[in-house]
Amino acid sequence: MALQLERLDKQAFAPFGDVIEMREDEWYPINKGTTRRYHDLGAIQVLGEDGRAAISLARGDAVDFPLSIRMLERHPLGSQAWIPFNGVPFIVVVAPNGPDDRPLETELRAFFADGRQGVNYHAGTWHHPLMSFKQQGDFVVIDRIGTQPNCDVCDLNQVHTIDGSAVTCA
């Protein structure tokens, strides 16, 4: 099944998490006016007995079209943020949870993050692992760590393809 790639924006992505970006209408001055603070762009969720928020770094291998989406994962005990710090765009694929506690494949969505945007998946949001677009990407990762298992993986019932032919936002 073909997936259409959408431009990542806060309203479209809200059911799945937060878009982390610097918008000119969403800042205030700090440090005696020498710094613009883009405040509270994502809510870090940490659930479970021994969880804590952690900051990590990740380097994602490059992918290109066509992309085959065969599985999704979710983190039931906390949010997970991916923020590029070398400006590399990435592809975000998400789905709501279905009545059978699996990704609802009929509502699978694909977004193009332009390299100046990050995402913060809400706890329990089904999503594809990192896909850096056309070049290796470096990312700040903010998520929950602890001893309790916090990653569910689900193979999809069918392969979903993003071919890139209708990409107007790349």
> For residue 169, is pLDDT > 90?
no
d(CA 37, CA 168): 31
Q: What is the pLDDT of residues 8-39, one digit of tens each?
A: 999 999 999 999 999 999 999 999 999 999 99
> 60: which 2 tokens?
């994602």
In a domain, 16, yes or no: yes
Collapsed DSSP state (helix, strand, coil) of residue 106: helix
Does any domain span residue 167?
Answer: no
Q: What are phi and psi of 163, to 5 degrees?
A: -95, -15
Number of domains in the chain: 1
Segment 79-105 mean pLDDT: 97
Q: Give the residue from 169, 142, 156, 60 showing the smallest Cα distance to 102.
A: 156
Looking at residue 110, which CATH number applies to its domain?
2.60.120.480
Range of the domain at 90: 5-162
pLDDT in tens, 110-155: 999 999 999 999 999 999 999 999 999 999 999 999 999 999 999 9
Confidence at residue 62, expressed as pLDDT on a 0 to 100 scale: 97
Phi, psi at 102, each rounded to 5°:
-125, 165
Band (pLDDT 50/70/90 cuts) for residue 78 is very high
Has residue 170 been placed in a domain? no
Q: Return all residues near 4 (Cβ < 8 A) that are at least 6 apart.
A: 110, 166
Q: What is the pLDDT of residue 166?
A: 58
The four Cα atoms 158, 164, 169, 170 give a dihedral, to 10 degrees, of 120
